[in-house]
Structures are given as structure tokens and as C-alpha cells.
Amino acid sequence: MKSLGQKGVVVRTIQRADKKDLVTLAVSGVATVHEAQGRKGLLDPAIRPIQQNKSLAGSAVTVLLAPGDNWMFHVAVEQCRPGDMLVAVPTSPCVDGFFGDLLATSLQARGVVGLIADHGVRDSRTLREMGFGVWSRSVYAQGTVKETLGSVNVPVICAGQLIMPGDTIVADDDGVVVVARADTARIAEKARQREELEESKRARMAAGELGLDIYQMRARLAEKGLRYVETLDDLEE
């Protein structure tokens, strides 16, 4: 993957997953999608939403930034389409406020649904009021310059995960997960099935049935040696 982290390049054409699969994934949410694809793809838990009650899915347009320099955001805007999600990564750790309400306005005008930022953002209140979804490493008003080239739509590593341009990003109150573009339809179907299955479990549990019985765990627990005693004193004898 020679292009990983390459600087000074803008890739114009990327493949995106099907819109209807993105909708399915946004409804399923991060925890279910993560399970549906075999427990992989989660970004580091240090990436937190700046708002509550928002669940989004979009196609990744990636932006590689120099630390303390947000110039490439402007280049990235032009490459975005409705339904995209911007994924922004500085080339070394930096908590500055690379992103604020003006850039969000420009992205929203192009139909971009949100931002995943492995750095800080500012104007956080306005971003919430605009309904533009943001997941970031920090909130910090420190401004940035426009001096150094980065890249748009090259592969990036964001908060510990490899993200290819066009990959599907799902983000909600639990955090962020990436699904490979080519796997999106398959994982969307799996997530949908999983949701259905959970729904039936939820109904039984709400009615008071125990997971021990629904999942038939008692035998295996006994076999592993689980021991029931009446009181703590029995234990200390």
C-alpha cells in the first residue's frame, strides 16, 4: 500500500457503497455493525461524539493534514458528494481545532453528513445547532494555518484503523466503526438480521425470561465449575 499517507495528492474518483446499505447500517448502529462484521473496525474510544442521539453512516472521503494546518479541508470539500462522511487525520498527534462552523457550512451545502476527526474541533455549539455530526479527539479553540500540503482520498490510519477512500463509516453515541466498501452490502444484511434476532431476545428478556435460560448457559457454567453457596460466610469456611 504505497499510497498510505502519501502527501500532495488529490484523488478525484472513488467508489462508494450503495446508499440503501448505508441507511441500514445507520439504523443498526455501531455496536451491532461491529458484531456483524466479526468484531473488527472500531476506532479508538478516544474519538467521541460532540453531540448525543445521532447515528450516521456515510462514505469516507479522507483528508490527510499537516499538524496545525487545515488547508486541505478546503481542497477536500470539492471532492465530496451527498452522503459522504469526511475522515480527517493529522500526520502527527495534534489536538488543535482544525475544523469549525464555516467548513461545516460548506460541507453541509454539498450534502456531507458528518466528520470523523482524529484531532480537535471548535465552534462546537454551532456545529450541534447545525445538526452536523462530529466525532473528534478533542474540543479546543486553538486555530490552525494554511501552509502545508496534505492529501485527499488516499488511504489513512485514523484512530488505529486503516480507512480506504470510499469505505463505509458508521458513527453513533458509542463511537465509530469502519466497514470495507466491498463488504458493506453483506454486513448491512447481517446487521439487519442481527437486529431482528436481538429484537426477539429483547422481548423475552423484557418479559422476565433470563439470559441463562434463553441462551441455555446453565450446563456449561456448571461444567466449568461454577459453585452456588448460600452466604458469604459459607465461602470463608
User: Site residues for its own copies, window 156-175 (CB under 8 A)?
Assistant: 157, 159-162, 164-165, 172-175
Cβ proximity to its own copies, 11 vs 185, nearer residue = 11
Handedness of CA 87, 88, 92, 95 (dihedral sign): negative
Figure out which of the listed residues 18, 27, 67, 83 binds its own copies, where binding follows CB under 8 A.
67
Q: At 32, is the secondary structure helix, strand, or coil?
A: helix
The β-bridge relationship of strands 84-90 and 161-163 is: unpaired
Question: How many CA atoms lie within 13 Å of 94's alpha carbon, on the beta-carbon side?
Answer: 22
Q: At 38, is the secondary structure helix, strand, or coil?
A: coil
Figure out which of the listed residues 25, 61, 66, 113 binds its own copies, where binding follows CB under 8 A.
66
Give residues 189-218 in contact with its own copies (rule: CB under 8 A).
198, 201-202, 205-208, 210-212, 215, 217
| Minimum distance from residue 129 beta carbon to its own copies (Å) | 8
Figure out which of the listed residues 25, 154, 169, 191 binds its own copies, where binding follows CB under 8 A.
154
185 binds its own copies (CB under 8 A): no
**Distance between CA atoms of 84 and 108, rounded to whole angstroms?**
10
**Distance between CA atoms of 150 and 75, rounded to whole angstroms?**
10
Which of these segments, 16-24, 187-195, 226-234, binds its own copies (CB under 8 A)?
A: 226-234
Q: What burial letters (b/e) apply to 34-52, b meaning 16+ CB within 10 Å?
A: bebbeeebbbeeebebbbe
Q: From the centroid of its chain, how far is CA 157?
A: 13
82 binds its own copies (CB under 8 A): no
109 binds its own copies (CB under 8 A): yes
124: Cβ contacts below 8 Å, ≥ 6 apart: 50, 134, 139
Give residues 115-144 in contact with its own copies (rule: CB under 8 A).
120, 122-125, 128, 138-143
Which of these segments, 19-27, 104-112, 185-193, binds its own copies (CB under 8 A)?
A: 104-112
Give residues 28-57 in contact with its own copies (rule: CB under 8 A).
29-31, 34-35, 38-42, 44-45, 48, 52-53, 55
